[in-house]
Each structure stands twice: as C-alpha cells, then as structure tokens.
Structure 1
C-alpha cells in the first residue's frame, strides 16, 4: 500500500530527474573505423596501470591495462583532448587529431610517481567486475594480490548489472560465504564465517546499535569491500568474521552526469541522479551530487518502503599535496510497521502463503531520518609519506512501532494473539581517525608503514516499553481477515533522551603495522599490533571497560607478479555486555584467526581468483546459565561465560572477464561452524546458528561488442545454499532450514550515453525464506516470488 501524500520530497526529485531525462538527446552515429591507441607512463617512465583516460567533453572513458596501454575504438574523425586524472595533482591533458579510417597512436607521461598512482580515481570505461587495489579508506596501499588477507570487492558495475537497489538485496551473492539473515527492512545483517560482519562506511564504524545502520542505498555507492577475518589492525575492533566497508562516490574532476528511471513489480518507482564535475575554473573545487527517490510496495499487503537520499560531496584541492573533502548524507525512509514481514506457525516453516502479513491497513508507518557528515583531510608530504585525518558524525532518528505476537492460544494452533509496541530510537555516533602511511628502505629491506589512532563514541536511546495487544486471539493465520481495528496511542510527551533507555559504547585505540619486503619485495612479512580500550554502559548491566593488545602476523610471497601465497594470524577483540548471577562483568570476547591463501591475477589482469582456508576460535562466548534462575521471574535469564565456537572453512572467489566480453562472479564456501564448549554439554557439537555448510553463487554477463547487436548483454545467475542453520537457536531438533536456490536473469543494452536494463528475480517463482524457532513457534521472512525490474539510464 503506497502513501504518496506523505512523500512530497520524493515527488520533487522524481520530477527533476524526469525533466533532465526528457531534455537529453540520443545520437545514432554510424559506425566509424577510426581509433585512438596509446600508453600512459609515470614520471619515471614506468607503465601507469589502471589509470582513467577520458576524452574531454564526451562520455568516452577507459582504463589502462597492466602495461599502461589503452584504446578507443570507433571514434569520429576530429580534434580531441585526452584527459588523465590524478587526485591532488594537475590533470594531464593531451591534444590529438584523429583521421578517418586510421589508428592514431599517442603517449602520455604523468608528473606523478608510481606510488602516487594509487590516488587515481577510477571512472568511466568498460564494464569491470574486478579491481586490483583497495580504496584509500582501508588504509593499506598494496595491490590486493599482495595483501595477506582475503579482501573481495563488489564494484558498481556488478551492482548496476544486478539492479541492486540497497545493500539488503543481492549483494551477498557476490561474496563467498556471505548470507543475509532474516531481519526487518531497515538494516543489513550479513553473516560470514560464523558471525555477523561489522558495518563500515568509508572506513568508519557506523554501527550504533544491533539494529543499525540504516541500509545504504546503492545510488551513492561506488564499491563495497568485504574484509574477511579480524580487521582490527586497520579498521577497529569487531567480530572475527570481518567487516564490510561501503565506499561512497567521490568527486573525480571529470564532468559527467547520469539520470536513471526504474520501474518494477509491486508498484516500484525509482529515480536517481548523479552529477560530477568542477565548481571552479581552476579545477581546485570539485563536487559530486547523488539524489535518489523511491516508492516501493511489497508482495505483502499493507507494506511499503518509500525512501529518498541526498548525498552531496565537495573536495577542495588546497595545493598539489593537500586536499579537504566534506560529505553530507541524508537518507529518509518511511515504511510499514516493523516486524509485519514475519509469518508465524506452530506447525512448520513455510505453511502460510508468501503474501501473509500480520499488519493492518490503518497502522501508522515507521519514519527514519539518517544523517551523517564526513570530513577527510589528506596531505602528501612526498612520494613516500602521506597523512590522513578524518572525522564523522552520524545521527539516526526513528519514530515508529514494532509487532511481535504473544503466542497462539493453548487449544488452537490457528489463532494468534498479535502484539504491538512503540519503537522510537535516537542514535548518535562520533568517530575520529588519524593515520600515517609511509615507505622507507633499510639496507635491502623495504618497509611499508601504517600507524594511527582510532576513536569512537556512540549513544543509543531506545523506547520500546509501551506494549499492547493488537486485536484479539480470533486472528486466524490460515483464514486471516483485516480491517480497521483499534490502534493504541503511544505517549511521546517526553523527549526520547528522557523516556528511552540509554546505551553507551566507545573505544580508543592506537595501532602500528610494518610490512617488511625482502628479495625485491617478493617476500613480505607483516608485523602489527593494536591496543584498544573498550567502554560500555547501560542501566541494566552497569558500566565497564576492557583493554587488550591484539597482534597480527602475516606472510605473503609472490611466485610472480600475478601470483602470491599468504599466511595470516590475527586476533579479534570486542565488548561482551552483561553480568553473571553474582553481578560480575564478563570478559571480552576474543577470537583467533589462522588463514592460508592463494591469489592470482589471470590473463593480463582480466580476472582474478582467491582461495583461502581458515580456522577461527571464538572464546568467552556467552551461554545460558541453567544453574541459577533469575529470582525476579524464576526463568533462566542469567548468562554464563563458558562458551567457545570453532569455525573452519574453505572459500573460493573468481571475478572478472574470464574470456572476452564475459564477466563473471563465481564463489563457493564450505563452513563447518560448531559449538566446542558450553555450560550445557548437550549443546556441544551443535552447529553455530546463522550459518550454511555450503554456499555457491554464480553471476554471468555476456556483452556483444561487434556488429549490429553491439552493446547488447545477457545476464544470469543463481544462489545456492545447503545445510542452512536457523539464526539465534542452538537446538539440533529445530534449527534446520530447507536448502535455498534462487535463479535470476536479465537482458540489457548500452551505448556511450544510453543504457537499458531488464532483470527478472526468482525466475522459478520459488518460496524462499529465512527464519528460526522461538518460544514454541516458528517464524520466518518470505522473499517475493517472481518479480521484474526495468531501468533506463542516460548520460549527458
């Protein structure tokens, strides 16, 4: 059910993008045989690999290959200006005359050294499913093939081809072992290697509570980086499974604009606008502006998800060594009552229609405002040393309500008593970071040094203490009837800071890492350590602080420039809130990670592969204390710190163009996650909840590049999960979920300016869901059946 009247800002954005699209003109140029072929070199004469080359005032762009070479095909005869962009330095331009039916050769030499080439912003160019280096927000400057850790990158081209609107959708299909665990439609819970991945944005920890952050819309996203294993040495303390880092779009200094209109099943209407360029004639002030507006219904009645986002970015090039970037993000969401997307049954999973809901048509929506400000200062002292300081402020404001039943009647497994409560929340997150990257040489040993400080303080205020029954027990889940029923009114007369429960969490840390290179950097030894102080406060469990030094030892050997073997040992460290029955604080959760891996770039960097074997041991896991019931209610609500989990696995990732014009993302993960210690022996040996024994994903895109069908592409992919374990449950008799198989496909067409895309999700129209048992009943969240998305994009 749509609510257009409450969404005036979206209407303005939608009309603006439609207007911009309507004034564009599409040219149908005839085929031209002229071409431009060239090579880009650094100032010391080395090939400049993976650099963006743009034909000025056009939409022609490409990337140099590993040898610094590039080519533009089918170019009209005429006079052009080639532009090579290097952030923090003057843009390099080269004039060129192209003659009819001739290949024009050119060489361009940059004024930057090979080390400074890592600051190149990648834009334009052909469809790319792989990258060779991490973003600067990961703080490390080595090529991915040399880093002793499994880091996988989902590019914006993959996101566009799969028509992914937000991070809760099909992002996980592109990463080995990653899976979405059932939750509400406000935040992304992504699990891998036996636990939840911590959410980051531009290198900042953006988690304020277990129900955050608000899921990012992909319109403002350039890439998503998945860092497997503990990442405390470079990011922050967190789960030993790893993190995902959403990298937002930044100014490139190249004038380019794009508008996209999308339509889809369930009354989905979406529009995005991406503006990029310079605001000053001298090219020192750059900007990027991304706007998005969306109205989306659901396969369930009375459900909707309306959103808009505004994401302006300014970058000022202070001089040839320093820059200042300021980014503001405002995401707004208006959606149905939280929790209405769950189905409930005492019999089994999936015994209700796919469109089942417990919602009512007259329930007030939940409204969320998510705002953030990010400031980044960068200074390049010279070609060897760089300093970065960045700070961010996040403000999450939610006003709404949540549904959860009190249970079925004792005599009838069809009659459900629905329940509803208010859920208002305010989350404030402050993060600050400073770090230094440098390179020095002592004798024959090269040193790549990273050192920095990392600080975070989060306050989360939550009011969910007002509860009421919704309707009565005559709600028959097998024969539901809906209508205007009495809705409780919540008392919001006091500010959320007064009536809400306050949780405070923060940490301060310092870290240092040295990557020592031997034998002309063929063998690299990484030594690192981080000292972290955690602080946690809440009124139920009191306050406490923990501190720990977490080491990191890595070894990477390059068999050749495209192939490496690596070993890594590192540790995780994070808070463990709560107290035992004696009122004692719990020790922090720690995790040890051992990992072996193989990486290779194939066929002149057209595609790459990573194979990793790992073992994670999580210590001090909390388990239920069955020996000491809580005197307040007589139930076993105390926890006991005797738990341990062991997670072992194998992961394989392949991405890139395995043959000409065929882009692939193929991955597989085997995960053996077991409880190795528990206060109750019967749980030892059980599977860790929220895992799957086997996950295999494939996505293929073939693009025709010649002839009358030039620009036409076909895509197909599937997700397959076997041995799924339900979330938040340990009982062997109840935690199994059926195997999961989803098939998707699409067709598209693109020219230099125009792009068309049609995607069909869940082609086989299967009943797909995630869920778990709880309190004698089963609950699950069903995905939509077969559905379609269509989009048209125009660059101007």
Structure 2
C-alpha cells in the first residue's frame, strides 16, 4: 500500500523494522510505535494522525488520500505469501537492491509460489526448471549445473558464495527447498559478487525469515515409487513487542526410485532467530542440518565403445546392492545490520559450513580385452570419506549519496572465503562383468584391507575488496560501475600444484536507459577469473583464465512490477585456457611432465529471453528461451570445433498456474514444459547422442477452506524417455524420470 504522510511530522524520527504478513492497520501501528503518530485504516483508505495530549488525536492537514493495495511487486524482495512468479528486488548481480528491470544482466527468480506449484523439493529440481540453466548427471547422485557452455561452480546462500563440491555440497547433496524463500539466478560471469569461477551463472538461495504474525503449516506428500515427504514450518514473534522473532522448519523425505535398488532418506532441520537490538540494529542467527542416506551407484549406464546406444532398461542399476552414499551438511550463520539516520546500512555476515560424505560403491570401467567380456567392461569399487569445511565472512556498507544535485547509490565491502578439503579412501581393481546379464547381488562387497589407498588434502583462501556505484546523471539514465580485487591462494597439502593469484581485478559495468515507464534498454560488461594449476616451460603456474561477457538487452516492467520481461543478446568468452604444447618441449620431456601455454579460448554467443509474473491477477506464468552457440576459437582440439556439446543450443522452459474465480474459485490448474534441442558427447571415434525432446507436467489444486489445501502433480505426462546425462563407454548415462505422480495436502494456520 502507498502511505502518504506529512514530511514535517516525521522529520527526524526513526521507524523500527517491520516485517511479516500483516494487516495494514497492524503494520502502521508497529511502524509508528513511539513516534507520537497514529493512523486509521478504512477499506482501502488510510489517514495518519498526530496524537495530542491526553490521548486525543488531531488529524494532520492532509488532502483526501486513497491508499490502494498494489498488485505489483515494486521493491519487495521476499516472495513468500505473494503468490507471484517474480520478485520486486534482487541484489545477487550487483549487491545493490535493484528491480529486475534495473539490473543490466540476465536475471531470474524461482519464487516460493512456483516451488510449491511444481513440487520442487530440492535444488536439483529447481535447476531443472530454472531459466537458462541445465541439470546434467554422470551418476544418480553425481550432478553438475551448466549454463552458457560452462559449469556453475558458485552457489550463494543469502549472498555469501560457497564452492559447489563434487562430493559434499550443493549438486551432490542438494539443498532441501523447505528452508528457502526463493532462488535467484544470474546468468553470465558474476566475479563482482563471487570472485573466482567460470563465466556461467550463479545461484543465490535466500533463506526464509521469521515473521511477526503467527504462521504454521504442515505439508504431507505421497507419490510414485513409494515416495513420502512431510514438511513443518512455524514462525512467530517471541515477545510482546515483536522485537524477537523465530522460525523453525523441519522436513523428512524417504522413498524409492524408478531405478532398481535405489532408496533415499533425507532429514532437514532449520532454525533462525531475529532480534531488533534497537530501532536501528537487527541481529540474526540461525543453523541448519541436512542428512541424506541413499543406495547409490557411482557410475551409471554405458554406451558402446563409439557412443552406440545399448538400449538398456531405464531401471538398470550397475552397482552392488550394498552400495551407499551418506552425506551430512551442517551450517551456522549470523549477521548484524545497522541502519544509519542518513539512509545508509552497514552489515557484517558470516557462515560456517561443515559438509561430510561417506560413500562405498561400484562402477563400470574398461578392462583388458583378454577377459573377453561384452564391450570389455568390468566392475570396480571405491570407498571415500570426504570433509569440506567452508567459512565465509563479508562486511559491507552502502546507501544513497548526493552528487551534482542528484541522488546516487553506493556499496562497498570486504570478504574472506576459506575452504578446507580432505578426502581419504581407496579403490579396488575391476572384475569382469557381463552388463547384459548383470545382477547387483552378484557384486561382492570388497574388504577394506585390500584396497589401494588414496588421500588428498588442500586449502583454498580467497580474500577480496569490492565496490559498486549506481549513478543517475539524468532521470532516464543509470550507470553502474564496480570492481573487485581478489587475492587467491590454493595450497595442495598432498603434493605439488600450489598456485596463487594476487590482486586479480574483476571489473563490472552497466548502463540502463529508460525509454518510458515500461521499457528500458541496457548494455553491460561483466568479468570473472579462474586460477589454473598447469605449468609453462619454465615451471611457473599459468595465469588465471579470464571469463567475460558482453550483453545488450531490452527489459519491460508491467503492472508496477507484477510482470517482468527481458530479451538480450550476449557473447561470453573464456580465454587464457591451459593448452598442452605439441610437441612437448624436450626440457619438459626430460622432467617427465607436460608443459602448457595460455593459448586456449572458447566463446558462446546467443539470445536469452524471459517473461515471468502475473499476466492477470489470477494467472501466473514464466517462460524462457536460451540460444547458446558455443565453440572453440583458439583451441583446435576437435575437428567440429563445438564446445560443450552436452549443452543444448536451444533450451525452452515454461510454467504456469491459473486460479479460477466465481463458483470454481477453490480450484487452480497449472502446467510446465521443458524442451531442448539435440545434444551429444564425444565417445571413441563417434558420438553418444540425445535427440530433441520435450517433457510436460500438469498440476491441479483444490482449496477446501482457509486451512486445508490439496495438490496433485503429474510429471513427464507423456513418459518421454531421454538422457539427463549422456552415456560414455564406461557408464555415465542417466535417464530422466519416467511418468510419475505426487499428491500433497497442506494445512496452514
């Protein structure tokens, strides 16, 4: 609601923080507490009063003011309770709280409403349907996220970056979405916010926050393959004034899969406290724990030696029936923010993550032809225990400032990121296997004493200082400039390969021009770097790879931010890639090592388009399209020159929901579709291929009353058979889920 007020009456007064789903009268009461002001609300009209002595109220001299509930999202970042497929503000791209239209980069959001409508239980589900990104698998529990030709290696939690781990974090122990309000997606390099990484994209998971008003919900789900899930979410103020608030979330999930022998059990707990230390300072502290226990294959389905499709059943499980992969992720986080009287805000945030993994599984590998097994394949086994401890600290200060008679925005900060990785275990040599007559029970569990020992330990520290400013020289023109200076130190404590990057500068620049109240055009340049460990002829570690992106686009904001659209053309380049010298110089041969030069370069060009939000008050929708043409430009490794052929050239995703009105007002329906062009993986002298495909989902919901709500989701309605991970000759093929159902029932206070 827009609130009009007498500027003289509020001059010099400080308002407390107000948050939560509140009625307008209660929100105004909390906002004006202790100010000597009061307010009344009648229908869609509110009026502010000056409290007189003795408790009487004298009306301020105001004209007739109509306060209308807005269907837009202007300024609102939180998506919970909005029933929207878009958001009014995000800061993942620049650290500045900007709307989607004001951000000069391709950005999207997976809102709480969309997560619930599609029944997306973890981050892997979200990535599958998020605009412009691809979920790829090389095993049932070995996954990677891809965008614009590159792997996504940075995941953020409330704006603090973490490294996506191979064994312990994010992709292979995906975050349970019960804890999160939304996931923000920024495509292209994000070096200003994350430092080192590939020029792909960044996902920022924003946690749910406590509310002042009581809020309780219990959701139970049951579906195909004996899958069951329960979520409990409770939030409220913890004292009469609402200056202390708390929230707890718990989720439990278990079930089987379309894969033989596959089982999964996941337990999630999340708790957060928020306290207003005074009218200007808020302290937050929270913790979460997520554990997964699963029967897991290490590898999956193979192709023929040159990529031939072996037409194996989707349910095939190529590991022992004793195989497992157990994972624990414990997180503690805190932040304290202070709002200064001049409109500036200072914030210190910290997060500590302890991630542990214990796996013992088997996989297919090539063996000597003398065994004369089909395709010369055998089954090997491995066991690994992995610990990854990450500590992130960030301190920032930002706010508006005046220059040449106009208001501008500024933010600056320092950060430190530390990752300690320790893995130990071992492997067993393969035994001959007939994959066409395979039984998991026939694979004997090896004895730990007979393994070939393995250990790896390393530590990575990245420190940085960053700053960004948004200048508004004239009303329609906005210029964003920023940069980050990073110090990167990798210490391989298990051997050689240490490397550093000192004072690595990562620039950011964007310009936005408002054509009118609806449309804006923009251009941007973003950058990122990625250290590499290869050495040149002299034995020095190569300079970091650099990734950069140029983007030119048009954005539209409709219905006061309730609907957002964008279309952009982009070029993403990664250069200084390690390139093996050929022939290998004699001095390198004498040292029994391969020498490299920074001669490699790859490029992706394409189109990125999206529309998301409310088409009508009852109709939410999101649709996105990505054209990505990736190729080697300075590295002739492959004759066809195509880079990242496992990522589609064309990627289309859409989701929609419609709430009926009138006699059918208790009903809602929805649908989603994921469609992509053909992809392939180079195998031997040929290709393993995936043709074009489309997967369709349907949803129907019914609200019985103000407390009870039911929903059913039908996924892969037409039972499309497709590779979610393209196979290789040694078994990396993973099929997408066949047709399946999930029924959900939610009770809320």
Is 1:349–2:288 an aligned residue pair? no
- Rate the CA distance shift 1:695–1:620 in 2: closer, same or farther, 3 A: same
CA shift at 1:392, angstroms? 0.8
Farther off after superposition, 550-559 or 154-163 = 550-559
Equivalents in 1 of 2:116, 2:434: separation in Å? 42
Equivalents in 2 of 1:271, 1:88: separation in Å? 40
Farther off after superposition, 631-640 or 316-325 = 631-640
CA shift at 1:760, angstroms? 0.8
SS in 1 for 2:137: coil
Is 1:297–2:297 an aligned residue pair? no
Query: What is the match of residue 693 of structure 2?
Result: 740
SS in 2 for 1:649: strand
Query: What is the match of residue 320 of structure 2?
Result: 360
Query: Which whole-Å deviations, capped at 9, do the CAs of 1:465-512 have from their partners, x for residues lacking one?
Result: 33343xx42x3322323425421133699xxxx973112212111111
Q: Is the 8 A contact 2:297 2:363 kept in 1?
A: no
CA shift at 1:200, angstroms? 1.3
Q: Is the 8 A contact 1:517 1:525 kept in 2?
A: yes
Is 1:317–2:273 an aligned residue pair? no
Query: What is the match of residue 77 of structure 1?
Result: none
Query: What is the match of residue 144 of structure 1?
Result: 100
Query: What is the match of residue 399 of structure 2?
Result: 438
Query: What is the match of residue 605 of structure 2?
Result: 648
- Rate the CA distance shift 1:634–1:476 in 2: closer, same or farther, 3 A: farther
Equivalents in 2 of 1:96, 1:368: separation in Å? 52
CA shift at 1:329, angstroms? 1.0
Query: What is the match of residue 663 of structure 1?
Result: 620
Query: What is the match of residue 390 of structure 1?
Result: 349
- Rate the CA distance shift 1:306–1:778 in 2: closer, same or farther, 3 A: closer
Equivalents in 2 of 1:43, 1:487: separation in Å? 77
**Which of 499, 504, 518 is the aligned partner of 2:473?**
518
SS in 1 for 2:732: strand
SS in 2 for 1:359: coil
Unaligned 5+ residue runs, structure 2?
9-17, 51-72
Equivalents in 1 of 2:426, 2:31: separation in Å? 51
Q: Is the 8 A contact 2:509 2:525 kept in 1?
A: yes
Q: Select the structure with the greater relative contact order (CA < 8 A; seq sep ≥ 6).
A: 2
Is 1:269–2:223 an aligned residue pair? no
Equivalents in 2 of 1:633, 1:722: separation in Å? 47
Q: Is the 8 A contact 1:607 1:656 kept in 2?
A: yes
- Rate the CA distance shift 1:218–1:633 in 2: closer, same or farther, 3 A: farther
**Which of 592, 610, 615 is the aligned partner of 2:566?**
610
Q: Is the 8 A contact 2:268 2:290 kept in 1?
A: yes
Residue correspondence of structure 1 range 675-714 to structure 2 within 5 A: 675-678=632-635, 680=636, 682-683=638-639, 685-707=641-663, 709-714=664-669
Residue correspondence of structure 1 range 154-173 to structure 2 within 5 A: 154-173=110-129
Query: Which whole-Å deviations, capped at 9, do the CAs of 1:761-794 have from their partners, x for residues lacking one?
Result: 11111212133464x5563111221111111011
CA shift at 1:553, angstroms? 1.7
Query: What is the match of residue 107 of structure 1?
Result: 46
Query: What is the match of residue 444 of structure 2?
Result: 486
**Which of 738, 743, 746 is the aligned partner of 1:790?**
743
CA shift at 1:208, angstroms? 5.8
**Which of 438, 453, 456 is the aligned partner of 2:417?**
456
Equivalents in 1 of 2:585, 2:224: separation in Å? 50
Equivalents in 1 of 2:78, 2:33: separation in Å? 15
Q: Is the 8 A contact 1:702 1:713 kept in 2?
A: yes
Query: What is the match of residue 532 of structure 2?
Result: 576
Farther off after superposition, 385-394 or 207-216 = 207-216
Farther off after superposition, 710-719 or 187-196 = 187-196
Farther off after superposition, 756-765 or 338-347 = 338-347
SS in 1 for 2:178: helix
Normalised by the size of structure 2, how large is the TM-score? 0.87
**Which of 404, 417, 420 is the aligned partner of 2:363?**
404
CA shift at 1:403, angstroms? 2.8
SS in 2 for 1:405: strand
- Rate the CA distance shift 1:777–1:430 in 2: closer, same or farther, 3 A: closer
Is 1:781–2:734 an aligned residue pair? yes
Query: What is the match of residue 379 of structure 1?
Result: 338
Q: Is the 8 A contact 1:302 1:360 kept in 2?
A: no
Query: What is the match of residue 61 of structure 1?
Result: none
CA shift at 1:93, angstroms? 9.3
Equivalents in 1 of 2:713, 2:591: separation in Å? 54
Query: What is the match of residue 766 of structure 1?
Result: 720
Equivalents in 1 of 2:656, 2:34: separation in Å? 39
Farther off after superposition, 209-218 or 783-792 = 209-218
- Rate the CA distance shift 1:681–1:294 in 2: closer, same or farther, 3 A: closer
CA shift at 1:738, angstroms? 1.9
Q: Is the 8 A contact 1:54 1:82 kept in 2?
A: no
Equivalents in 2 of 1:110, 1:566: separation in Å? 44
Unaligned 5+ residue runs, structure 1?
1-37, 46-50, 57-69, 71-80, 98-103, 112-116
Equivalents in 2 of 1:130, 1:705: separation in Å? 22
Equivalents in 1 of 2:228, 2:5: separation in Å? 46
Q: Is the 8 A contact 2:657 2:670 kept in 1?
A: yes
Q: Is the 8 A contact 1:302 1:359 kept in 2?
A: no
SS in 2 for 1:627: coil
Aligned length: 707
CA shift at 1:749, angstroms? 1.6
Query: What is the match of residue 73 of structure 1?
Result: none
Query: What is the match of residue 165 of structure 2?
Result: 209
Query: Which whole-Å deviations, capped at 9, do the CAs of 1:178-198 have from their partners, x for residues lacking one?
Result: 111114455752211111222
Residue correspondence of structure 1 range 631-642 to structure 2 within 5 A: 640-642=597-599
**Which of 228, 232, 236 is the aligned partner of 2:191?**
232
Query: What is the match of residue 511 of structure 2?
Result: 555
Q: Is the 8 A contact 1:554 1:567 kept in 2?
A: yes
Q: Is the 8 A contact 1:577 1:586 kept in 2?
A: yes
Equivalents in 2 of 1:307, 1:110: separation in Å? 53
- Rate the CA distance shift 1:341–1:257 in 2: closer, same or farther, 3 A: farther
Normalised by the size of structure 1, how large is the TM-score? 0.82
Query: What is the match of residue 386 of structure 2?
Result: 425
CA shift at 1:126, angstroms? 4.9
Is 1:674–2:631 an aligned residue pair? yes
CA shift at 1:444, angstroms? 3.0
CA shift at 1:623, angstroms? 4.0
- Rate the CA distance shift 1:500–1:629 in 2: closer, same or farther, 3 A: farther
Q: Is the 8 A contact 1:174 1:666 kept in 2?
A: no
Query: What is the match of residue 756 of structure 1?
Result: 710
CA shift at 1:343, angstroms? 4.4
- Rate the CA distance shift 1:149–1:124 in 2: closer, same or farther, 3 A: closer
Farther off after superposition, 731-740 or 371-380 = 731-740
CA shift at 1:229, angstroms? 1.9
- Rate the CA distance shift 1:86–1:556 in 2: closer, same or farther, 3 A: farther
Query: Which whole-Å deviations, capped at 9, do the CAs of 1:351-406 have from their partners, x for residues lacking one?
Result: 10010111232x14221111111111100012521001111111011112243322
- Rate the CA distance shift 1:463–1:109 in 2: closer, same or farther, 3 A: farther
Equivalents in 2 of 1:312, 1:758: separation in Å? 29
SS in 1 for 2:565: strand
RMSD between aligned alpha carbons?
3.4
Farther off after superposition, 640-649 or 335-344 = 335-344
Query: Which whole-Å deviations, capped at 9, do the CAs of 1:313-359 have from their partners, x for residues lacking one?
Result: 01111111111111101010101134254445446236100101112
Residue correspondence of structure 1 range 3-82 to structure 2 within 5 A: 40-41=3-4, 44=7, 54=21, 82=26
Q: Is the 8 A contact 2:715 2:740 kept in 1?
A: yes
Equivalents in 2 of 1:350, 1:250: separation in Å? 49
Equivalents in 2 of 1:42, 1:663: separation in Å? 33
